[in-house]
Structure 1
Amino acid sequence: MDYPNSVPSVGLVDGRFVDENPVAGTPGSLIPAVWGNSVTQEILSVITGGGLVASEADNGQLFKAIQAIVEGASPMRSVITRLAATKTLSEQELGLVLIDGSPGAVTLTLPAANAALGVRDVIVRRVDNSGSRMVIQATGTDRIRFHTHLSPSGYTFFVLMGGGDWWHLRSDGGGSWWPIGRFDNTPLGRPFFETTVLLSPGGYGALNGAVMNRAEWPWLWDHAQRSGMLNTEATRAGNEGNWTPGDGALTFRGPELRGEFLRVLDEGRNVDINRIMGTNQAGTVHSYAMGAGGAGAVGSRWSDSLSAVGAQTHESQTWVKPANGGPIYPAGTNYQQDAANTLLYTFTSRPRNVAYPGRIKVI
């Protein structure tokens, strides 16, 4: 619209309105009908475009319409949707989606990320802390572009794990949803110690060597295959820190680290020589002998052997009393009496330690 430059009318100067001048005897502007109707129609177009029905008695409609139009044009609309069952989201429900999985497993399917939807945002947030599986699924051939270092096209779904876990997604109008924020961006596969026996939100599992379904955890299976730590199921004993292919078709197995100490891999430094990542190492065995009947000086037959590694039976925890009636030796020691009645003490050393639950990032 513009000033009524092209509409001849009394009182207009270069198409602009002027006041009446009684001294000069010039009249004030008279608004041409064509211009007045045009202005009115411009305003009505905004009002109806904002989804309102024009009302002569409502003087705030233009402002309300502008608010609605701006909100509709924003990828992140001020809409809150609550659900507790499987469903497909409509375009009108995009915004903040609060999902309760306590009644059971939930699958939430996103709208098609096509040109009709355009650029839209959605935040999906889990509100319960039950063990129910909660899946956020893309429609048809759409993809959710996360962990693209493992799969350039992303994946067709992801899971929300733990109360408060959330992902912020944006559609691109071309078949993809892109994560632009999430509760926890810790890299996939990273191990942690925790100060709680509960599983924290954000995508964590226990470091317990669990067997998992490849179809349910495809990104983690991709990670395992590219990790350089995928061992065989047949040689798992002694290599429990590695991944294995499970049944070779439908499952795979994660690392087992319960009750273990972690050591940094040597990687060519030659301090912990010939170690393969994911393998375990028994505690170092120390030993010394005392004279006949226990009367000799400690260390009189010293045979300390820091390089002698014991069997893969981990640490024994026993109290024993020698056959010759000697003293009871501390927990964690064993003894042996040779032909000369000499006592040989052996023990597996370990540092003082605190036991914390181990966790691994699984998405």
Structure 2
Amino acid sequence: MSPAVDMASPRDWAMEHIYRLIQESTSMTRPALVARSGLPASTVGHAVARLLDSGRIVEGERPPKGPGTGSGRPPRVFRVPVAPSVGAAISFRADRIDIAIGDARGRVLTTSTITLEPGRGGDEAELACDGLEALCQARQVSALSGVVAGLSSSRARLLDGGSRAALRSAPHRLGRRLADRLGDTAVEIDSRIYLATYGELHLGTGRCHENFVLCHPAEPDEVGIVLNGRVYRGGVGIAGRLPATRGFAGSIASVCTLLNPTAVVISDDGSEAVASMISTVRQAIDALTPPAIAAGVEVVAGELGAGAGVRGSLLRAGQVPRVANLTRLGPSR
């Protein structure tokens, strides 16, 4: 996925990068931010100062270790203040649009579904915005922290004429149309498989596994990858595309041989295909991977079920940068 990010300046990009590091880690010291970000200390200092001035982060002291530890003065830490917020998730599926409103913890407050006519494409953004506005009115929500939309490769092709180029152009066009309609609300477009992986990482399977691969019955040509507790996107954001030469289960076995995950998660979409997919993938891993790797891999259904993508989107909705709208879904390889 080739990210296309229209940041106002490198300083804005650095500020959002620092903000996300603090948000994902609960609290961080200045030296830790320099180490994790790879940015110069002066750049980190400027970003932290701007975030403090805007109120997006607050500064405090880490609790002391106690007497006799030699710890000295506790270091200053930065954290994101906890504030109630409501975000929205939109999932563009092959046959419908799922819309949800929820809080910053990924909890769903209300949902609605818009059924699409077969082969229909082109006006999904307007339909989604109409549905979202209706939900907001019903829940008396006057403002959203952000809107995150998940788009599958098959829907991207339909939105823009079925060509390979659609996988690059359709998400950008959809993102712009959503942003134009929603005004000041920040919008992010990403792949459905990534958002499901993000949801499982923070609210489901990730509580027990720091290294796993996520598959979805509706997206058999791609997987989500989590390494060391973080979603891995690769150099240009399109990590996870599977080759068609070995078949789905064989490709998953190859991924396991390469990455040595502790779990392969089948994101449960409520269909009967999940149980069959678990069995097929298990057999392929046992037959095609080294015994030590096969013994260390569980093949399980996702803990969040069909709601993984929506809940991942709601988590992301409170983190969309204020300075720009983002499109992260890119071309298939």
TM-score normalised by structure 2 residue count:
0.24
The structure whose RCO (Cα within 8 Å, separation 6+) is larger is: 2
Give the structure with the higher percent helix: 2
Larger Rg: 1
